[in-house]
């Protein structure tokens, strides 16, 4: 065992489990690629102010959970706690919004970092796949992203998730609701930190998970009762488009997201098999974020889905993904000459697109065949001195046990045909 261990609240992804995580990422990304979203990758750390302004200085993410540090050059940086602010910063810096083809549609995948109390489904290092549509105010975009996330989850075989939907209003109607909510909160028995949060951003109090707080919020005013006509019409069109696509959702008038930048449409994907940490992903519209970080007005919408949480949801439903074996053919040489010849054959197989591995380390037949079994290979290719003298190798079907000789110069074509 190593002297060192992974830091508290983090994890290592190792085979074979890592294959499931890769499959989940691919399943989430596939419908995005088919819908005009291009891949973007941003640095793992950014200027602290990007998140302070965008995510919100009153949020737990910024005040308690962000990994912030000062460089040797005096720069104040933070490990990214979420993806949207970084993606929008990159799009603005590259002037993607000036290309004249709005919205700019981007997707990303990566690791994010928050100093949280570690528990199942909530880690200090976690993985997400996200999507952002930047520069257009259109209910169809909001609906598109919700539908694509639903499609991704269903392609994985998930069925027991729910989509919660709400509207947070906009700069016209939210101030009226904000004032009404603050008046309500001032009359509650709340601790000093929560009261301070209520003065800065009262919607954040609605997201407080403590039971003692939630009990007092039962009669809190609802934002939907304060929406302006424009926000009501916008939200109704989002609902109609999702319904027409056959995607089920639930209206949740108390749903708010943990980031300050959200406006209008907000949604969350939750799964009952995850316990208290039921959210597997979520997102919404953030029409004012670009201006918050110094850019022009660029109405946008996006989401992030947790890869870790999605894997836990699959486990809760007992869903096993059909993941192809990493190796299709395992070559077992018996003797030095066979080692040289079969290594060349394995190289040819790989160039032909066949997943092939080789018995390294000079193992005997018994040990090498054990490794072939462990690899999950469909076929074993075995050759000794007698086989080489006849210009052949033995091709063994690892499922049926059938073994037949194959000419060395026909190995690639034979295996490609059988694996097809």
> How many domains does one find in the chain?
2
pLDDT(44) > 80: yes
What pLDDT shows up at residue 60?
65
Cα 182 to Cα 214, 216, 223, 261, 281: the distances in Å are 15, 14, 12, 19, 28
- Here the tokens at position 248 are 């089920």
What pLDDT shows up at residue 356?
95
pLDDT tier at 88, thresholds 50, 70, 90: very high
Do residues 312 and 349 share a domain? no
Question: Which of these three, 317, 348, 383, is where a domain ends?
Answer: 317
Do residues 29 and 137 share a domain? yes
Residue closest to 345 by CA, chosen among 265, 412, 403: 412
Question: Which of these three, 317, 348, 374, is where a domain ends?
Answer: 317
Residue 65 falls inside a structural domain:
yes
Do residues 124 and 50 share a domain? yes
Average pLDDT for 141-162? 97
Do residues 30 and 162 share a domain? yes
Do residues 109 and 236 share a domain? yes
Mean pLDDT of the chain: 91
pLDDT digits (tens, 9 = 90+) for 326-380: 899 999 999 999 999 999 999 999 999 999 999 998 888 999 999 999 999 999 9
Do residues 312 and 365 share a domain? no
Q: Which domain holds residue 34?
A: 17-173+227-317
Question: DSSP character for 61?
Answer: I
Residue 12 falls inside a structural domain:
no
pLDDT digits (tens, 9 = 90+) for 3-13: 899 999 999 99
The CATH number that applies at residue 244 is 3.30.930.10
Binding residues for L-histidine: 82-84, 114, 128, 132, 257, 261-262
Do residues 342 and 367 share a domain? yes
pLDDT digits (tens, 9 = 90+) for 235-278: 999 999 999 999 999 999 888 875 667 889 999 999 988 876 78
Do residues 286 and 378 share a domain? no
pLDDT tier at 203, thresholds 50, 70, 90: confident
Do residues 139 and 254 share a domain? yes
Binding residues: 82-84, 114, 128, 132, 257, 261-262
Residue 143 falls inside a structural domain:
yes
Do residues 285 and 334 share a domain? no
Segment among 134-138, 221-225, 279-283, 390-394 with least mean pLDDT = 221-225
Number of other CB atoms surrounding residue 394 within 10 Å:
17
Do residues 74 and 131 share a domain? yes
pTM of the model: 0.89
Question: Which of these three, 317, 342, 371, is where a domain ends?
Answer: 317
What pLDDT shows up at residue 205?
83
Residue 221 falls inside a structural domain:
no
Residue 364 falls inside a structural domain:
yes
Q: Please indicate whether residue 323 or residue 56 has the higher confidence score (pLDDT).
A: 323
Residue closest to 204 by CA, chosen among 183, 236, 181, 229: 181
């Amino acid at each position: 065992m190593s002297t060192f261990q992974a830091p508290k609240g983090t994890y290592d992804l190792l085979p074979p489990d890592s294959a499931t995580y890769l499959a989940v990422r691919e399943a989430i990304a596939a419908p995005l690629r088919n819908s005009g979203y291009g891949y973007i990758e941003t640095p793992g750390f950014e200027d602290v102010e990007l998140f302070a302004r965008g995510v919100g200085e009153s949020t737990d993410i910024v005040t308690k959970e962000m990994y912030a540090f000062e460089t040797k050059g005096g720069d104040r940086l933070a490990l990214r706690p979420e993806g949207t602010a970084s993606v929008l910063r990159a799009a603005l810096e590259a002037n993607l919004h000036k290309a004249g083809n709005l919205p700019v549609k981007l997707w990303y995948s990566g690791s994010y970092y928050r100093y949280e109390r570690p528990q199942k489904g909530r880690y200090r290092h976690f993985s997400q796949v996200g999507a952002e549509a930047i520069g257009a105010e259109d209910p169809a975009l909001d609906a598109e992203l919700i539908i694509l996330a639903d499609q991704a989850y269903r392609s994985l075989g998930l069925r027991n998730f729910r989509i919660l939907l709400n509207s947070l209003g906009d700069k016209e109607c939210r101030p009226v609701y904000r004032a009404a909510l603050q008046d309500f909160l001032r009359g509650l028995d709340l601790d000093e930190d929560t009261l301070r949060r209520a003065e800065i951003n009262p919607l954040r109090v609605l997201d407080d998970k403590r039971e003692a707080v939630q009990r007092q919020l039962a009669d809190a005013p609802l934002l939907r009762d304060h929406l302006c006509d424009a926000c009501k019409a916008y939200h109704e069109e989002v609902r109609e488009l999702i319904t027409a696509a056959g995607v089920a959702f639930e209206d949740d008038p108390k749903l708010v997201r943990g980031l300050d930048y959200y406006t209008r449409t907000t949604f969350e994907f939750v799964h009952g098999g995850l316990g208290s940490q039921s959210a597997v992903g979520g997102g919404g519209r953030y029409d004012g974020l670009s201006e918050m970080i110094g850019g022009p007005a660029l109405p946008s919408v996006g989401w992030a889905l947790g890869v870790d949480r999605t894997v836990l949801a699959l486990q809760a439903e007992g869903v096993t993904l059909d993941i192809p074996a990493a190796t299709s053919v395992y070559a077992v040489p018996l003797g030095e000459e066979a080692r040289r010849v079969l290594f060349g054959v394995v190289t040819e197989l790989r160039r032909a697109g066949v997943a092939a591995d080789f018995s390294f380390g000079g193992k005997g037949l018994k040990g090498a065949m054990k490794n072939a079994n462990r690899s999950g290979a469909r076929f074993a290719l075995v050759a000794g001195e007698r086989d080489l003298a006849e210009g052949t190798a033995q091709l063994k079907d690892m499922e049926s046990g059938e073994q037949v000789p194959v000419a060395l110069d026909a190995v690639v074509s034979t295996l490609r045909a059988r694996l097809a």
